[in-house]
């Protein structure tokens, strides 16, 4: 039985959410966001405002399977397992906490992160199941043609070529820790892992790859954008197919675990979040 905690503690949580009815993660005036909902529930439980820090700020309509958040509690009258149950009881159905863990004082879900894994999911089945329609981009496309531009993605490419960031941003060429795709029947999962991403980079990167596969964009233009010689921001994949699958806090390829899970268990492996065992290095 876990005892009550009556001292300040730094708490991390692995959470999932359906982004359909959220205006992204970050707090916004008069809009329902993931951060707003979680902070409201924490304030209701602890009678004080408790700021929540995410590993990544997902945009409107983007989902998360293994987002990591952290927050500090000055006191907690019950154990961590009980806190887990209480939070899930108060949270709405489109936000779930899969794990809760007390972390060292210097842990910060955003600044301690080594990499983020995003998955863009597509289904080519003509009549996709209604339960999955909000999580996959349902398109008629040749998966063999789609693989061609994605196979060009190198270990470093120009992130800014696939982003509508302002001109003063300095991140041009970003490092890719892992990039691959998995095909399971009618489902296509594009997995990409990097220390950080620019605004909408993954959606433009994938959307422009789809444009190449459909003959709307040349393969040479795609290659030029990867090399930083051209910007491609016309074809952006819709947010519903994008998922923040996991966040790693030590030097590893978490994307490879994602790939393995999908190959082994298909949809179940895709929707199964990584655990703290997967993402935090044991002492």
Assess whether 144 carries a catalytic annotation.
no
**Paired strand residues for 189:** 121, 182
CA distance linking residue 101 with residue 55, whole number of Å:
15
CB-based contact 171:157 (threshold 8 Å): no
What does the pLDDT look like over 163-214, one tens digit per residue? 986 555 566 889 999 999 999 999 999 999 999 999 899 999 999 999 999 9
Question: In 91-195, where does DSSP find H-type helix?
Answer: 143-150
Helix/strand/coil percentages in the chain, nearest 5 = 30, 25, 45
Report pLDDT for 78: 82
Q: pLDDT tens, 96-111? A: 999 999 999 999 999 9
Helix (H) or strand (E) holding 70: strand 63-73
Catalytic residue, chosen from 18, 59, 151, 251, is 59
Residue 25 CB coordination number (10 Å): 26
Q: Is the dihedral of CA 231, 24, 15, 7 positive or negative?
A: positive
Average pLDDT, the chain: 92
How many whole angstroms separate alpha carbon 214 and alpha carbon 163?
21
Predicted confidence at residue 169, as pLDDT, reads: 56
Burial class (CB in 10 A: 0-12, 13-18, 19+), 50: middle
Residue 252 has pLDDT above 60, yes or no: yes
Distance CA 87, CA 108 (A): 20
Examine the pLDDT at 74 and tell me if it is beyond 70.
Answer: yes
pLDDT greater than 90 at residue 123: yes
What is residue 105's DSSP assignment? T
Collapse the DSSP code of 186 into the 3-class scheme (helix H, G, I; strand E, B; otherwise coil) and give the result: coil
Mean pLDDT of 108-133: 95
Antiparallel, parallel or unpaired: β 242-248 and 115-123 = antiparallel
């Amino acid at each position: 039985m876990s005892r009550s905690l009556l001292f300040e503690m730094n708490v991390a949580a692995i959470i999932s959410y359906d982004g359909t009815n959220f205006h992204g993660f970050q707090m916004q005036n008069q809009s329902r966001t993931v951060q707003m909902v979680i902070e409201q529930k924490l304030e209701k439980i602890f009678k004080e405002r408790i700021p929540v820090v995410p590993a990544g700020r997902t945009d409107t309509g983007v989902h998360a399977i293994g987002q990591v958040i952290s927050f500090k509690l000055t006191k907690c009258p019950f154990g961590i397992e009980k806190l887990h149950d209480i939070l899930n009881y108060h949270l709405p159905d489109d936000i779930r906490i899969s794990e809760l863990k007390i972390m060292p004082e210097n842990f910060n879900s955003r600044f301690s992160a080594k990499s983020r894994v995003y998955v863009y999911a597509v289904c080519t089945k003509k009549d996709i199941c209604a339960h999955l329609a909000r999580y996959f981009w349902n398109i008629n496309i040749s998966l063999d043609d789609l693989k061609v531009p994605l196979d060009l993605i190198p270990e470093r490419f120009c992130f800014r070529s696939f982003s509508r960031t302002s001109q003063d941003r300095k991140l041009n060429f970003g490092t890719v820790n892992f990039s691959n795709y998995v095909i399971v029947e009618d489902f296509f999962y594009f997995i990409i892992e990097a220390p950080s991403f620019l605004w909408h980079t993954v959606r433009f990167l994938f959307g422009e790859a789809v444009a190449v596969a459909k003959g709307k964009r040349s393969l040479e233009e795609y290659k030029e954008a990867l090399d930083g010689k051209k910007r491609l921001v016309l074809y952006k994949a819709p947010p519903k197919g994008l998922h923040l699958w996991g966040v790693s806090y030590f030097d590893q390829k978490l994307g490879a675990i994602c790939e393995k899970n999908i190959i082994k268990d298909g949809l179940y492996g895709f929707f199964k979040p990584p655990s703290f065992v997967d993402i935090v290095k044991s002492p």
